[in-house]
Amino acid sequence: MTENVTAGATLSADAVVVGAGLAGLVAAHEIASAGRSVIVLDQEPPASLGGQAWWSFGGLFLVDSPEQRRMGVRDSVDLAWSDWTATAAFDREDDTWPKRWARAYVEFAAGEKRPWLRSLGVGFFPIVGWAERGGAGPEGPGNSVPRFHVTWGTGPGVLAPFVQRVEAHVASGRIRVLHRHRVDAVDLVAGTAVGVSGTILEPSEAARGQSSTRTPIGDFRVAASAVLLTTGGIGGSPDLVRRYWPERLGRAPRSMLSGVPAHVDGRGWGIAERAGARLIGTDRMWHYTEGITNWDPVWPGHGIRILPGPSSLWLDALGRRLPHPYSPGFDTLGTLGHILKTGYEHSWFVLTQKIIEKEFALSGSEQNPDLTGKDLRLLAKRLGAGAPGPVEAFKDHGEDFVVSRTLSGLLDGMKSLSPDAPLDRREVTRAIRDRDAQSMNPFSKDPQLAAITSARQYRGDRILRVAAPHRLLDAAAGPLIAVKLHVLSRKTLGGIETDLEGRVLSDDGTTVGGLYAAGEVAGFGGGGMHGYRALEGTFLGGCLFSGRTVGRSVAAAV
Ligand SMILES: Cc1cc2nc3c(=O)[nH]c(=O)nc-3n(C[C@H](O)[C@H](O)[C@H](O)COP(=O)(O)OP(=O)(O)OC[C@H]3O[C@@H](n4cnc5c(N)ncnc54)[C@H](O)[C@@H]3O)c2cc1C
């Protein structure tokens, strides 16, 4: 699909889309399907087509789906909207457009989203996951019910229909995709966008997700009636993440793993601002606390997020148990703030072999070869004994794992992995013994154990995600495992402010003529439809929805 272009040439099309991630591909498909010509530009080589979505787990937020109903889950647009607003906690004047986008998105997730994706050939794993469970009461943040639908084929399965359709448009000449074209500026005439200009980068053999070089070999200009920015978020730039880090989450981490490839460099924000766009909610972001160092990295600082079931004991760097609802899988940002306010950046899961086998999933298409490869034989192994292969590989090779048959061996290993933090052996021992003393009854005064019992009422959790309660020191459930967890940067919740058509707004509230934005660079719509927090599975969905909506509005405008 790639093309070489003579440096210095000016190209033209009805619309130019900057960024060939999910949002850009969905939008380009919509614009071309309406009969308009499109040039798609991306700074990365063809190997990285599709951006982050290819690496993603493919989890999609759907409301009142047949999959939920089959699992006995009762959901509705009203319940989802109530969860969304409690989680987003919109409280700013700037939240006008984000809130409108949020409402439109929840209605899409409860309406057209699934039939539309099914019509494009996208299927779903039948067991619906329960991400971001909340745990702070009915009026608090989080999903009241399971809504995380894993795409059959994970991230590549979400991307595939749009890659295929864009390829067909390339074949018919309606779309051109130019890789190694890095946009540096939106070209303006009298404040209206009339195209983009930038740098042609040298060809690169970098494999998917690897960093590619930035050596320039020329420049280019594309003239278009509409410019659509779909350049992704800032999660791959530790400097930008730290610059915008909100004080409410504690001090910005000095070290972070990166949950996204280096191309998620955040330059799109600066390019938009220089063209007159207004950025809002730049302090709203979504990073994880359950990051582990990838023993087989693809990009710099590559970390993998554990998608944990609820049973691991969560300890801070000193060995103190985290209070509920800061239990695994309940409240991402609440837990992040709690951990960073301890003065240390890491924390620990302490668990058993029995828990890891059932409860550890790793986020990312490459970490789930059964679901990604649609391999039923491999998938059946998830239900059998033993942890999935990629999880075992981390246990064997990962630098953050300690495995021991004895508690003292475990504590020695934990201490040697974090020599700078004075882990209190007695505190850890007491936390484990206190919990074990509560775990032998089906009822308990321990809120985490009560939540585990409640989770096992849900068939999906009982089958796939929540180990039967047991004592951590039960030798039959062993060996004991400790996992050192790091902050992992991932998603950007704020961004370029847009109206419901995706038209970029300026400081005085008027539109910047000809300029549009969609996907993560626009906070997935409006400049931040998630508000402060997310319900999960809403990022890919946000790209699908905003890419589709804004693609259609561009097509109507040019
Ligand atoms: C490991 C992982 C797991 C995930 N799992 C999930 C999940 O289960 N569910 C969910 O909802 N979300 C998930 N996400 C998040 C989701 O994948 C992303 O939020 C989404 O794919 C972002 O898409 P985008 O099109 O907005 O941006 P991107 O995918 O970042 O694409 C932007 C593109 O723009 C290009 N670009 C940037 N700047 C320029 C420039 N100046 N000139 C030219 N090109 C430029 C980049 O090279 C890139 O190709 C996951 C992400 C990762 C990394």
- Write the CATH number for 153: 3.50.50.60
Q: State in Å: Cα 52 to ligand 1 middle.
A: 4
Of 488, 512, 540, the residue that ends a domain is 488
Does ligand 1 come within 6 angstroms of the Cβ of 21? yes
3-state secondary structure of 314: strand
pLDDT, position 3:
62
Residue 446 CA to residue 428 CA, distance in Å, equals 16
147 lines ligand 1 (CB under 6 A): no
DSSP string, 21-81: BHHHHHHHHHHHHTT--EEEE-SS-GGGTBGGGGGS--EEE-SS-HHHHHTT----HHHHH
Q: What is the mean pLDDT of residues 542-549?
A: 98
Q: Does the Cβ of 538 fall within 6 Å of ligand 1?
A: yes
Residues 181 and 310 in one domain: no
Q: What is d(CA 154, CA 140) in angstroms, rounded to the nearest whole number?
A: 30
Angstrom distance (rounded) from CA 358 to CA 470 = 13
Q: Which atom of ligand 1 is nearest to the CA of 58?
A: 8
- Domain shared by 110 and 186, yes or no: yes
pLDDT more than 70, % of the chain = 99
pLDDT at 1: 62
Q: Which residues of 101-121 are buried (b: 16+ CB within 10 A; e: fewer)?
A: bbbbbbbbbbeebbeebeeee
In a domain? residue 250: no
Name the residue at shortest CA distance from atom 5 of ligand 1. Answer: 56
Q: What is the pLDDT of residues 407-439, one digit of tens each?
A: 999 999 999 999 999 999 999 999 999 999 998
378 CA from centroid of ligand 1 (Å): 28
Residue 132, exposed/middle/buried by CB under 10 A (0-12, 13-18, 19+)?
buried
* 36 within ligand 1 shell (Cβ under 6 A): no
212 pLDDT more than 80? yes
Query: Is 300 found in the same domain as 214?
Result: no
Give a yes or no: residue 4 inside a domain. Answer: no
Determine how β-strand 511-517 pairs with β-strand 347-352: unpaired
Q: What is the DSSP letter of 479?
A: S
Query: What pLDDT was estimated at residue 182?
Result: 98
Q: Considering the domain boundaries, does residue 242 fall inside one?
A: no
Q: What percent of the chain has pLDDT over 90?
A: 94
Cα 152 to Cα 69, 108, 360, 446, 469: the distances in Å are 18, 20, 19, 37, 30
Q: Which domain holds residue 19?
A: 10-231+493-557
Query: Is residue 281 a part of any domain in this protein?
Result: no
* CA–CA distance, 66 with 123 (Å, rounded to integer): 12
Compute, in angstroms, the gap from residue 67 CA to the centroid of ligand 1. Answer: 26
502 Cα: distance to centroid of ligand 1 (angstroms):
18
Last residue of a domain, one of 453, 488, 523: 488
Encode pLDDT of 146-161 as tens digits. Answer: 999 999 999 999 999 9
- Of 488, 515, 538, which residue sits at a domain end? 488
Question: From the CB of residue 245, how many other CB atoms can be counted at a distance below 10 Å?
Answer: 17
Centre of ligand 1 to C-alpha 404, Å, is 38
pLDDT band of 135, cuts 50, 70, 90: confident
Burial of 440 (0-12, 13-18, 19+ CB in 10 A): exposed
Q: What is the Cα 117 distance to its own chain's centre?
A: 19
When pLDDT is averaged across residues 175-198 and rounded to a whole number, the result is 98
**Overall average pLDDT of the 344-355 stretch:** 97
Residue 87 pLDDT more than 80?
yes
Give tens-digit pLDDT for 40-63.
999 999 999 999 999 999 999 999
Q: For the chain, what is the domain count?
A: 2
Whether residue 53 has its Cβ less than 6 Å from ligand 1 = yes
Cβ neighbors of 24 (< 8 A, separation 6 or more) are 17, 18, 40, 42, 51, 228, 230, 518, 519, 547
pLDDT of residue 380: 87
Cβ atoms of 235 and 524 within 8 Å: the answer is no
Q: Does 199 share its domain with 97?
A: yes
**Residue 120 located in a structural domain:** yes
Instruction: Specify the pLDDT at position 112.
Output: 98
| Residue 555, helix vs strand vs coil | helix
For ligand 1, what atom is nearest to the CA of residue 264? 30
The domain that holds 484 is classified in CATH as 3.90.700
Q: What is the average pLDDT across 94-106?
A: 98
Q: 426: CA distance to ligand 1 center in Å?
A: 44
Same domain membership, residue 399 and residue 335: yes
Contact (CB, 8 A) for 236 and 261: yes
Ligand 1 atom 2: residue of nearest CA: 56
Q: Are residues 431 and 537 in the same domain?
A: no
Q: Is residue 270 part of a domain?
A: no
pLDDT class of 5 with cuts at 50, 70, 90: low
Q: Are 2 and 24 in contact (CB under 8 A)?
A: no
| pLDDT for 106 beyond 90 | yes
Do 60 and 77 lie in one domain? The reply is yes
Spatial CB neighbours of 549, under 8 Å, sequence gap ≥ 6: 104, 500, 501, 502, 518, 525
Token pair of 39, please?
Answer: 């040039």
Position 4 scores a pLDDT of 55
Q: Is the distance from CB of 144 to CB of 138 less than 8 angstroms? A: yes
As a whole number of Å, the CA-based R_g of the chain is: 23
C-alpha–C-alpha distance, residues 209 and 47, integer Å? 8
Q: How many whole angstroms from 476 Cα to the centroid of ligand 1? A: 43
Distances, alpha carbon 427 to alpha carbons 81, 322, 419, in Å: 41, 12, 17
Test site for ligand 1: of 43, 56, 263, most ligand atoms within 8 A of the Cβ: 56
pLDDT at 6 over 60: no
Q: Rounded to whole angstroms, how far apart are CA atoms 183 and 222?
A: 10
Residues 215, 115 share a domain: yes
Average pLDDT value for residue range 451-463? 92
pLDDT band at 22 (very low <50, low <70, confident <90, very high): very high
The answer to whether residues 155 and 58 touch, using CB atoms and an 8 Å cutoff, is yes
pLDDT band at residue 93 under the 50/70/90 scheme: very high
Report how far ligand 1's centroid is from the alpha carbon of 451 (Å). 33
pLDDT at 530: 98
Q: Judge if the upstream peptide bond of residue 308 is cis by omega within 30 degrees of 0.
A: no
What distance in Å separates the CA atoms of residue 181 and residue 220, rounded to the nearest whole number? Answer: 8
Angle (CA) 362-363-369 rounded to 5° is 75
Span 473-525, pLDDT tens digits: 999 999 999 999 999 999 999 999 999 999 999 999 999 999 999 999 999 99
Please tell me whether residues 39 and 160 are part of one structural domain: yes
Query: Among 539, 544, 546, 548, which residue has the most ligand 1 atoms within 8 Å of its CB, making it the best to mutate?
Result: 539
Q: Which helix (H) or strand (E) holds 199?
A: strand 192-201
- Is residue 41 lining ligand 1, measured as CB closer than 6 Å? yes
Output the pLDDT for position 2: 56
454 part of a folded domain: yes
**CA-CA distance, 208 to 89, in Å (whole number)?**
37
Does the Cβ of 58 fall within 6 Å of ligand 1?
A: yes
Closest ligand 1 atom to residue 260 Cα is 53
Alpha-carbon distance of 547 to 429, in angstroms, equals 51
Q: What is the pTM of this model?
A: 0.97
Q: What is the largest CA-CA distance in the chain?
A: 74
Cis ω for the linkage preceding 479 (within 30 of 0) = yes
For residue 532, the CA-to-ligand 1 centroid distance in Å is 19
Ligand 1 atom nearest 541 alpha carbon: 11
Angle at 392 between CA 390 and CA 397, to 5 degrees: 90
User: Does residue 272 lie in a domain region?
Assistant: no
Confidence of residue 300 (pLDDT cuts 50, 70, 90): very high
Quick one: 405 and 504 in the same domain? no
- Per the prediction, the chain carries an average pLDDT of 96
DSSP 417-466: H-TTS---HHHHHHHHHHHHHHTTSSS-S-HHHHHHHHHTTSHHIIIII-
Residues in the chain, overall count: 558
Q: Binning pLDDT at 50, 70 and 90, where does residue 381 land?
A: confident
Measured in Å, residue 482 CA sits from the centre of ligand 1 at 31
Q: Is the CB of 308 under 6 A from ligand 1?
A: no
In the prediction, which pLDDT does 439 show?
87
φ, ψ of residue 444 in degrees (nearest 5): -165, 155
- Residue 505 has a pLDDT of 98
Q: Are residues 314 and 328 in the same domain?
A: yes
Query: Are 439 and 320 in a shared domain?
Result: yes
Round to the nearest angstrom and report the end-to-end CA distance of the chain.
24
DSSP-based three-state secondary structure for 542: helix
